[in-house]
Structure 1
Amino acid sequence: MTKRQTATITASITWKDSGVPVAEQFDDPYFSLEDGLAETRHVFIEGNDLATRFRPGFQIAELGFGTGLNMLAAYIAWRAAGSPVGAGFTSFEAFPMDAADIDRALQAFPEAHAVAGPFMEAWEQGARRFDLDGFSVEVIEGDARDTLAAWDGKADAWFLDGFSPAKNPELWGEALMGEVGRHTAPNGTFTTYTAAGFVRRALDVAGFDVERVPGYGRKRHMSRGTLRP
């Protein structure tokens, strides 16, 4: 059994010549080597059909906060949808990046970086709960296998964005996917960039109708699903 992480450990980062950050713990990049923001929009924003689903009180949850790029993409989509009141974003992150690395990574995406100022200011001060013009954000640090079980919320949409299942299997196991299902609101959805068979099976067991759909760029497939009644 894998030993659980009990204390917050800051992510160790190396940088590719292209400017893409790579997590040393998992030897995996934080975002697409092509266009990470476009991939985020394809997989998580469009995959969850957020443009038509945002409403007051809408809750997004995420496994794997990383650079905050997915959160910023959701924030931009929320503003485009008219900024419905009470929307929120909760993310579970075991290895938070420091502010300087996040800022360096986000500079690759001018649209996201342009709205990241309040987030970056809060993050640098150590805040893990902050508000972006009424879009509330909470980042819960620690092993998601423990922290998600203790969360009292339910998500209307899940972003499952851990590192590659082959390199980070702890974030894709059946027990944790079961907690994702248990913390999903009626008719809630998930999307993820991976189409790994064991992940799709775990999400099926967790209560989702799972489908494999076209991925972004060179990734042939991704997965999405809706919680069964």
Structure 2
Amino acid sequence: MPENRDTDQTDPAEPADAGHPVDWRAAVPVSLRFDDPFFSLEDGLAETRHVFLKGNRLPERFRDGFHIAELGFGTGLNLLTALHAWRAAGAPGALRFTTFEAYPLAPEAMIRAQEAFPALADVAEDLRPFWREGARRITLPDLDFTLIEGDARDTLPAWDGRADAWFLDGFAPARNPQLWGEALMAQVAAHMAPGGTAATYSAAGHVRRALAAAGLEVARVPGYGRKRHMTVARKP
């Protein structure tokens, strides 16, 4: 979710319910906790495809059991986009997707946000019943999904997995600094397979330095839309 987005007037906040509290700017949920949109006000799907798919050289790297890990599940848009790309590519077997989220959205808020992307409607329909049940694990013939709830600074070190690609999609570093610290970026690198990659919309210098300090090869590349740059990284 790009940092420092321009914002319009918000709709009134939804009634309090279980889950991350949000306001809505048209179809875009905005976090009341972090005062930041969950995805681009311009085109969240195009942004996700540019930053997280292209930034991790996907779908060309897909193979059976390919494992994506993510910091910041948000609306689930990145999962829908990745699974849609997996199906469109005719990838064999199942995509593994593990996401770390401290403040999950309420199911109906997540479903409402996903409805803004008609190109992903088939995938969203397949997963909608699981969100309504509050599922943290989803197993389909082509998907093995896990949501790990809690502070990633605690939950990621305890995880025993290693990802082929990381989606670093926390709220903007200026608003959510705990998800971009050097210690957590070191954990991302430690839980990355050799030759694995990471991508984020953020071009903040301290994020790049933290990834480099963790032993990753880091580059600043063109960003999406009005963002001139973003960051990609690779584990040698």
Which of 140, 164, 180 pairs up with 2:172? 164
What is residue 4 of structure 1 aligned with on the other side? none
Q: Structure 2: where are the runs of 5+ without partners? A: 1-17
Helix, strand or coil: the match of 1:54? coil
| In 2, Cα distance between equivalents of 1:55 and 1:33 | 32
Per-residue deviation, 1:105: 0.8
What is residue 202 of structure 1 aligned with on the other side? 210
Q: Which amino acid aligns with 1:134?
A: D
| In 2, Cα distance between equivalents of 1:129 and 1:99 | 14
Indicate if the aligned counterparts of 1:47 and 1:191 stay in contact, CA closer than 8 A.
yes
1:193 aligns with 2:166: no
What is residue 22 of structure 2 aligned with on the other side? 13
The 5-angstrom pairing of residues 77-96 of structure 1 reads 77-96=85-104
Q: Which amino acid aligns with 2:181?
A: G
1:152 aligns with 2:160: yes
Per-residue deviation, 1:80: 1.8
What is residue 128 of structure 2 aligned with on the other side? 120
What is residue 142 of structure 2 aligned with on the other side? 134
Per-residue deviation, 1:56: 1.4
What is residue 68 of structure 1 aligned with on the other side? 76
Indicate if the aligned counterparts of 1:90 and 1:137 stay in contact, CA closer than 8 A.
yes
Per-residue deviation, 1:79: 0.9
Helix, strand or coil: the match of 1:167? coil
Helix, strand or coil: the match of 2:20? coil
| In 1, Cα distance between equivalents of 2:131 and 2:165 | 24
Superimposed CA distance per residue, residues 169-202 of structure 1 (whole angstroms, 9 cap, x where no aligned partner): 0000000000000000000000000000000000
Helix, strand or coil: the match of 2:103? coil
1:108 aligns with 2:116: yes
TM-score, length of structure 2 as denominator length: 0.90
Per-residue deviation, 1:99: 1.1
| In 2, Cα distance between equivalents of 1:87 and 1:14 | 32
Q: CA RMSD in A?
A: 1.1
| In 2, Cα distance between equivalents of 1:185 and 1:137 | 18
Per-residue deviation, 1:133: 3.4
Alpha-carbon distance change, 113 to 74 in structure 1, aligned in 2, over 3 angstroms: same
What is residue 8 of structure 2 aligned with on the other side? none
Per-residue deviation, 1:149: 0.6
Q: Which amino acid aligns with 1:34?
A: E
Identical columns (%): 60
Indicate if the aligned counterparts of 1:118 and 1:132 stay in contact, CA closer than 8 A.
no
Q: Structure 1: where are the runs of 5+ without partners? A: 1-8
Q: Any runs of at least 4 consecutive aligned residues in structure 1 with deviations exceeding 6 A, and if so which?
A: none
TM-score, length of structure 1 as denominator length: 0.93
| In 2, Cα distance between equivalents of 1:193 and 1:93 | 18
Helix, strand or coil: the match of 2:221? strand
Superimposed CA distance per residue, residues 114-147 of structure 1 (whole angstroms, 9 cap, x where no aligned partner): 3212322112112110024321111110000011
